[in-house]
Chain A
Amino acid sequence: MSSKEKILKEIRKNNLAKDMGLPAYINFGIKFENPYKTFCEMIQSVGGDAICIKEESLYDTIKKLYPNENNIASNLEELKEKFLDTNLENDPHNLNTVDLAIVKGEFAVAENGAVWVSNKSNRHRALYFIAQNIILVVKKEDIVNNMHEAYEKIDFDDLTYGVFVSGPSKTADIEQSLVIGAHGPKSGYVIFLE
């Protein structure tokens, strides 16, 4: 008997767990009067920040936020010409020198300040983590209230990877002192486009 069969047999043998149906989450979960405002408060509470700008001023805003970063990479269609297009890179290890990554966020979640990014338009998932700083660009109309609404928007039919990112990477493993920038980005902005 294979281990798989042994395990299944062991589970079936004497399973006393009683079945009960699965919940449905129709119209369930906290909602906010102003999801954008809540999102901004949440992301500030986890060490990040959010701003809202007109689409035309994206480039200038980035330059203003990070005047000293030289090696800037992006997978955004509209910034392709101006910055390094990481989708042309073959080996993710080479992204190690990226100072700032500007990536497309598909939508944001108000209740926890998270932004959903996936490999739909990004070839290397390492980009989200290896860059020293990160900016996630999201359309302002794409904010949902809570995680139930969030998962309704996600499907994995054509994806191999997706991640909710909430602020820059952090740790509190030394005496519970919060340190921003563990292995991943040391700062993180969410830029909403109006």
Chain B
Amino acid sequence: MSIHNHPKKAKEFVSNDERMHWHDKALWFVREKRDKASKSIPEWEKLREYAQQIKTHTMANLDKYLLEFEENATKRGIKVHFAKDAKEHNEIVYNILKEHQVKKVVKSKSMLTEECHLNPFLEKKGIEVVDTDLGERIVQFRKEPPSHIVLPAIHLKKEDVAKTFHKELGTDENNSDPTYLTRAAREHLRGKFLEADAGITGVNFAIANTGGVVVCTNEGNADMGSSLPKLHIACMGIEKIIPRLQDLSIFTRLLARSATGQPITTYTSHYHGAIENGEMHIVIVDNNRANFLSSNKYKKALNCIRCGACMNTCPVYRRSGGHSYDYVIPGPIGSSLATFRDPKLHKTLSFACSLCGSCSNVCPVKIDLDSQLYNHRQDLYEKNIISTKKRVVMKLSVWVLNSPILFSILGKITRKIVPLIPKKIIYNRFNIWGKQRDIPNMPTKSFKELYKEGSIDVK
């Protein structure tokens, strides 16, 4: 596999200036809704603390809780399977489907099945798989991966959707009214729900002491897909476990508020068994997750509840688009997960970060995202994985930043010289940073100089 390259992919996205600003604004709007929702709860910070506490406790006892969950789910007649990796996950799902002679599957949002590439696997075996979340259906039609974990089609304009639906569903090419398009998708997907032989869903939370799973959606697609066909398969990573039913109160209060600013998702469904005369299966997948627990620096990444808040707030994500990350989970959390899993392949991702720390501030389970990305850079440096150019720059910066005298001399020179250099020379082909941006005007004096003069008002 060729090495993924975030700057290169981001460049493609940024080259459409208008769309980049539009994307940036759309996500900032969601971030603002999140702020409003979180501020309406006086105990918000306490909730985050509790969430972190529950997750940490669960991870410390993950083996016990997985066993407890399996035992309780089995008592309810749910069939529980364990899969070491993506391949085994796909095979287990396929075997269940084969046993029931399933030809048509409706699927609801599941980043795990995306991670495992379940769709192409099943399609190759002759099974039709329809993603039923509207955003996911749109990107499925377009043969693209989702670009956001909560808003899979956030990178598309309604005109793009109109074009896609015209081609796939025969709607009016010139009508891009969201209600019109949503109604068309509703009719189309209703047909799919009614004729499906099985429903596959993801899992938001799995409760150890009851043996059931919880799925949160706004559209109701997970429920349509699992309450009509006789067969329901729920797929989850090992980290989705929480100890007790009552702990859900914390997470259901945090999840939707952090994700979209809603007080709760429209549907918070608790599955504790199959429908009448039906069958329910749960596939629990590791696929390199347990490994995180052995790293002090990165273990907290497993606590993620996939709300997407870190993406919505990230200045880099907002301006480079989800596809530039080339990983199933984009944004700050995706960068950390991907780099830990395969540092060589994803070596550019931890640099797609301004270290502003906004992600860690909004994260409802208090994951130290910015520190993780900072640590990754150093690990990559130590493992000698990053490019020579970056290495040289890093070395030089260490040298300069370690010497206050050198730093201030270089600052003085830069402030004097840069305004005199012709633009052509500044924006040479080695200055990647300057490709889509202008260098700011140089101030005449540094902060330090102003401070010493007393020109800065310190209150």
* Chain A residues with a Cβ under 8 A of chain B: 2-4, 6-8, 10-23, 25, 28-30, 42, 45-46, 92-93, 96, 109, 111-114, 123-126, 128-130, 146-148, 150-152, 154-156, 159-177, 179, 181-185
Contact = CB atoms under 8 A, between A and B. Distances in A.
B116 interface: no
Contacts of B324: none
B220 A184 contact: yes
A156 B212 contact: yes
B135 interface: yes
Contacts of A166: 262-268
Contact of A129 (B56, B151, B227, B249): B227
Contact of B43 (A16, A21, A28): A28
Given A167-B266, A173-B133, A16 B194 contact: no
Contacts of A10: 286, 290-291
Closest 4 CB pairs of A and B: A160-B273, A184-B220, A14-B294, A182-B219
Nearest to A45: B263
Contact of A114 (B83, B268, B273): B268
A42 B63 CA distance: 40
- Judged by DSSP, the binding face of A is loop
B263 A111 contact: yes
Given A13-B294, A124-B227, A163 B269 contact: yes
B263 A42 contact: yes
A161 B247 contact: no
Interface centre among A6, A17, A154, A163 (most CB of B within 10 A): A17
Nearest to B247: A22
Given A29-B43, A163-B270, A184-B220, A19 B61 contact: yes
Interface residues of B, number: 94
A163 B268 contact: yes
B178 A11 contact: no
Given A3-B82, A147-B249, A184 B224 contact: yes
Given A173-B135, A175-B157, A181 B270 contact: no
A111 B346 CA distance: 42
Interface stretch (B181-189, B397-405, B415-423, B425-433): B181-189
Given A3-B84, A11-B290, A183-B220, A25 B275 contact: no
19 contacts: A3-B82, A6-B84, A7-B238, A7-B284, A16-B293, A16-B294, A16-B295, A23-B250, A25-B250, A112-B263, A124-B227, A126-B223, A159-B272, A166-B264, A170-B218, A174-B178, A179-B178, A181-B186, A184-B224
Nearest to A176: B26
Contact of A15 (B41, B82, B271, B293): B293
Contacts of A19: 56-57, 60-61
A25 B247 CA distance: 9
A17 to B, nearest CB: 4
B153 interface: yes
A180 to B, nearest CB: 9
Contact of A14 (B183, B265, B293): B293
A121 B325 CA distance: 48
B224 A173 contact: no
Contacts of B133: 173
Nearest to B219: A182
B274 interface: yes
Nearest to B302: A17
Contacts of B67: 8
Contacts of B29: 176
A183 B190 contact: yes
A164 B274 CA distance: 18
A96 B194 contact: yes
B59 interface: yes
Contacts of B186: 181-183
Interface centre among B138, B154, B243, B293 (most CB of A within 10 A): B293
B220 A129 contact: yes
Given A151-B245, A173-B153, A7 B134 contact: no
A70 to B, nearest CB: 19
Contacts of A147: 248-249, 252-253, 264
B14 to A, nearest CB: 20
Contacts of B46: 28
Contacts of A4: 70, 82
B30 interface: yes
Contact of B294 (A15, A125, A156, A184): A15
B158 interface: yes
Contacts of B53: 20-23
Contact of A151 (B135, B183, B223, B246): B246
Contacts of A96: 190, 194
Contacts of B253: 111-112, 146-147
A3 B283 CA distance: 12
Contact of B263 (A6, A12, A46): A46
Interface centre among A15, A126, A154 (most CB of B within 10 A): A15
